[in-house]
């Protein structure tokens, strides 16, 4: 079959579907989603927030990270971390229901 005629003039205005995975996930194999179970007032996080954690990125000071403390995951400001604390990953996004 051969196409004839002109392409649609509206073709340049087609919208792509919004895909959150494409927008917020850089490395799918090292990205995890968690839902917070309590408020972290000092870190501006609320219970029910969804945090996106990327294990492939190294946290820098004043960034939020998920760490392993006493066998449990916890959220900490990277500038407060001691060298002996194991870092699970860097928080790259926070998704909050309004």
Averages of pLDDT over each 10 residues, the chain, 98 residues: 73 78 94 96 95 91 89 89 89 95
End-to-end Cα spacing for the chain: 51
| Locus of tokens 């501006």 | 44
Round to whole Å and give the CA distance between 73 and 53.
Answer: 12
Predicted confidence at residue 53, as pLDDT, reads 97
Predicted confidence at residue 67, as pLDDT, reads 93
Round to whole Å and give the CA distance between 20 and 5.
Answer: 36
Stated as kind and residue range, the H or E segment containing 1 is none
Predicted confidence at residue 7, as pLDDT, reads 73
What are the tokens at 25?
């996930």
Q: Length of the chain in residues, anyone?
A: 98
The alpha carbons of the chain give a radius of gyration, in whole angstroms, of: 20
Predicted confidence at residue 43, as pLDDT, reads 92
Predicted confidence at residue 14, as pLDDT, reads 72
């Amino acid at each position: 079959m051969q196409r004839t005629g002109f392409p649609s003039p509206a073709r340049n205005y087609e919208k792509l579907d919004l895909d959150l995975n494409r927008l917020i996930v850089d490395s799918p194999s090292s990205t995890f989603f968690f839902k917070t179970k309590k408020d972290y007032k000092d870190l501006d996080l609320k219970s029910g927030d969804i945090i996106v954690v990327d294990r492939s990125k190294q946290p820098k000071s004043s960034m939020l990270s998920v760490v392993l403390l006493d066998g449990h995951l916890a959220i900490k400001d990277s500038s407060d971390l001691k060298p002996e604390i194991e870092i699970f990953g860097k928080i790259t996004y926070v998704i909050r229901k309004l």
